[in-house]
Amino acid sequence: MTAGEWRPTLIPDLVSPDIPFMRSVQDVLNPGVVLAFSPHFDDAVFSAGGLLSAAGRLDSFTVITIFGGQPPSEISATASAYHGTWGDLDSMVEVRRAEDRAAIQLLGGQHEHWDELDAIYRRQDDGRWLITEATPTNHPTVHAASERLLLQRIVARIRRRLSEYEGGVVLAPASIGGHVDHARARDAVLEAVGADGRETWSVLLWNDLPYATHYDDAPPLLPPKYAVGPSFGVTIERDDWIRRIAASATYSSQLKGMEWDGVSVPEQIDRWATQRGRRNPLETFRVAEISGRRGAWKRS
Ligand SMILES: [Zn+2]
């Protein structure tokens, strides 16, 4: 999440559809490592913090934040306008990194911060600014823009990290709400796991929170060789839920700008998850199917 993300229209009917099926934490945490690729500093914890807490309790996990780089010295007029609503820019990324370290430590995992630039600081391959006033971060023309070099670089970095392990679970955003950084992170993960070729990796896409509390939960169009299954719920144990709500509250620099009718992000998530889970809070995910392979997913 960044302050540059747009405000969606509330769709009240979508906060309580039945979840068609459920899986246990033990079922989704295949043997092996748990690597979560988060577009921004707060996304993995906001969306999948309960599952991560369980992973931290059972063993460990690593959250890799991809778009965590320092803003460049030259920025666009649109980025300048965003900055006008933020605090001290020089320390902003350091503050956000510190919040992320604290949140992930609370959940029992490791963090890693990459230095790719947030969408509002990026130029397209032809040199034009990616994000303008007319084309916000979820705009279709932004998704269609060529960022081939960026994607290639991120895919290569993810492949190097995957090559360090035998396999396990990779978590990434489904990109509900359509922020281009979420979609780029997702597509890079799918590309990297596909190129890795080993069927020892399962890919789970989290339904992005808090966006999934407000949106139709169909993710943006996937590249042709990929598909995702329907959403399923994972029931989160009480202690893990308490930890994940506390960890979400750690991102205090982001929370004020993300309040909804005066309701904080942790409270939005808590209400949504408790309502959907009929008092047992849940998080929702989708299985990604890659290049015709179905991965090492355990289908019961
Ligand atoms: Zn985000």
Q: Tokens standing for 149?
A: 């070099």
Enumerate residues 6+ apart whose C-beta is below 8 A from 88. none
pTM: 0.89
Distance, in Å, from the CA atom of 69 to the CA atom of 53, rounded to the nearest integer, reads 26
The residues facing 285 across adjacent strands are: 206, 232
pLDDT digits (tens, 9 = 90+) for 126-172: 899 999 999 999 888 898 888 999 999 999 999 999 999 999 999 99
Q: Tokens standing for 265?
A: 């992000």
Q: How far is CA 8 from the centre of its chain?
A: 17
pLDDT of res. 16? 36
pLDDT of res. 97? 95
Question: Amino acid identity of 212?
Answer: A
Place of tokens 């229209």: 9
- Between the CA of 63 and the centroid of ligand 1 the distance, in Å, is 14
Domains of the chain by residue range? 12-290
- Between the CA of 208 and the centroid of ligand 1 the distance, in Å, is 8
Q: Which residues surround ligand 1, an ion (CB under 5 A)?
A: 1, 39-40, 43
- Between the CA of 183 and the centroid of ligand 1 the distance, in Å, is 10
Q: How far is CA 5 from the centre of its chain?
A: 14
- Between the CA of 268 and the centroid of ligand 1 the distance, in Å, is 16
Place of tokens 């392979």: 293
pLDDT of res. 298? 33
- Whether the CB-CB separation of 70 and 126 falls below 8 Å is answered with no
- Between the CA of 300 and the centroid of ligand 1 the distance, in Å, is 32
pLDDT of res. 253? 87
pLDDT of res. 228? 82
- Between the CA of 160 and the centroid of ligand 1 the distance, in Å, is 23
Distance, in Å, from the CA atom of 229 to the CA atom of 205, rounded to the nearest integer, reads 10
Question: Which regions of the chain are under pLDDT 50?
Answer: 1-17, 294-300
Distance, in Å, from the CA atom of 141 to the CA atom of 139, rounded to the nearest integer, reads 6
- Between the CA of 136 and the centroid of ligand 1 the distance, in Å, is 14
- Between the CA of 3 and the centroid of ligand 1 the distance, in Å, is 9
pLDDT of res. 26? 87
Q: What are the start-end ranges of the E strands in 189-297?
A: 201-206, 226-228, 232-235, 282-290
pLDDT of res. 154? 98
Q: Which fold has domain 12-290?
A: Rossmann fold (3.40.50)
pLDDT of res. 212? 85
Nearest by Cα to 128 from 143, 144, 146, 151: 146
- Between the CA of 199 and the centroid of ligand 1 the distance, in Å, is 28
- Between the CA of 45 and the centroid of ligand 1 the distance, in Å, is 11
- Between the CA of 174 and the centroid of ligand 1 the distance, in Å, is 11
DSSP-derived letter for residue 92 is H
Distance, in Å, from the CA atom of 38 to the CA atom of 114, rounded to the nearest integer, reads 10
